[in-house]
Amino acid sequence: MTGKTTGAQLSIKPWIKRYPGTTGTTLVFPHAGGAALAYRSFGMALAEAGSDTYVMQYPQRGDRLTHPAPDTVADLARDLFDAADWAGMGPLRLFGHCMGAVVAFEFALTAERAGVDVAVLWASASEAPSAAATSPKLPTAEAEILAEMVDLGGTDAQLLADEDFVELLLMAVRADYQAYNRYGCAADVTIAADIYALGGAADHRVSENMLRCWETHTRGAFTVSMFDGGHFYLEDHVEDVAELVHEL
């Protein structure tokens, strides 16, 4: 990957994966258990569309395997915010898938308090932050986590038969689920950034009505767009979603 490197970009933690683009800055927040590498295709598509793109890496996976797990989603968001001088790259576009959308929301709150401009948050296949406290707790036992992975899709069944892979996956998912289970957000907590919700029409976990609950969390514009597919609809619409995110 090539591209001009600014002073702000030199201060970015090495575990944030960059896909250089020409205009604007997009930050990508993976789903629970997801590593930055899983969003390589999306990061490349965003860069090809024009966005200078940064894919976040959460603790307990990849090159952050030994980093301690965050206590809550808000702690994770602050950890990611402190990983670079984002003020030098704004206004920011944030894209989060599933739990990543809630992490992105908390990141936007942190950025707003720090005076960093966030233009828009794309919330993909995620319940609204205020729904987290009333949702059933996510599983943390091994068998239940693996059943959850199978139900959600998005993980190659052959990989789930690999003991070494499963051990690392369980570490990452359990860390994220525990942080999410401790998270809570009131319905009247808002960000100035626009919120655009995206989802899969056949997603049996996050419905269009659930996506519409994100509207209460913005003081700006709000839209919902649905795509063919299930919870991981993004895998089949990488280029289309990348163009949509970059255009606004």
Contacts of 206 (CB under 8 A, 6+ apart): 98, 125, 126, 127, 199, 231
Q: How many domains does the chain have?
A: 1
The C-alpha torsion from 231 through 173 and 138 to 102, rounded to 10°, is -60
Which residue in this structure is represented by tokens 């990452």? 172
Whether 36 is in a domain gets the answer yes
Pairing of strands 52-55, 17-19: antiparallel
pLDDT at 11: 83
pLDDT at 2: 37
Whether 1 is in a domain gets the answer no
Residue 7 has pLDDT above 50, yes or no: no
| pLDDT tens-digit map of 148-169 | 877 777 666 667 777 888 888 9
For the whole model, what pTM was predicted?
0.92
| pLDDT tens-digit map of 23-41 | 899 999 999 999 999 999 9
CATH code of the domain covering residue 65: 3.40.50.1820
Whether 139 is in a domain gets the answer yes
Pairing of strands 118-124, 25-29: unpaired
pLDDT at 27: 98
| pLDDT tens-digit map of 193-243 | 999 999 999 999 999 999 999 999 999 999 999 999 999 999 999 999 999
Q: What is the DSSP string of the chain?
A: ------HHHHTS-TTSEEE--SSSEEEEEPPTT--GGGGHHHHHHHHHHT-EEEE---SSSGGGTTSPPPSSHHHHHHHHHTTS-GGGGPSEEEEEETHHHHHHHHHHHHHHHTT--EEEEEEES---GGGTTTSPPPP-SHHHHHHHHHHH--S-TTGGG-HHHHHHHHHHHHHHHHHHHT----TT--BSSEEEEEEETT-SSS-HHHHHGGGGGBSS-EEEEEESSSTTGGGG-HHHHHHHHHH-
| pLDDT tens-digit map of 64-73 | 999 999 999 9
Whether 141 is in a domain gets the answer yes
Residue-number span of the structural domain to which 201 is assigned: 7-247
Whether 232 is in a domain gets the answer yes
Which residue in this structure is represented by tokens 């993004």? 234
Which one, of 40, 159, 58, 133, lies nearest residue 100 by Cα? 58
| pLDDT tens-digit map of 94-151 | 999 999 999 999 999 999 999 999 999 999 999 999 998 788 888 888 888 888 877 7
Residue 5 has pLDDT above 50, yes or no: no
Whether 2 is in a domain gets the answer no
Contacts of 187 (CB under 8 A, 6+ apart): 130, 216, 217
Q: What is the DSSP string of 123-136?
A: EES---GGGTTTSP
Query: CA 7, CA 173: separation in Å to the nearest integer?
Result: 34
Whether 69 is in a domain gets the answer yes
Residue 3 has pLDDT above 60, yes or no: no
Query: CA 8, CA 2: separation in Å to the nearest integer?
Result: 16
> In angstroms, what is the C-alpha Rg of the chain?
17
Whether 43 is in a domain gets the answer yes
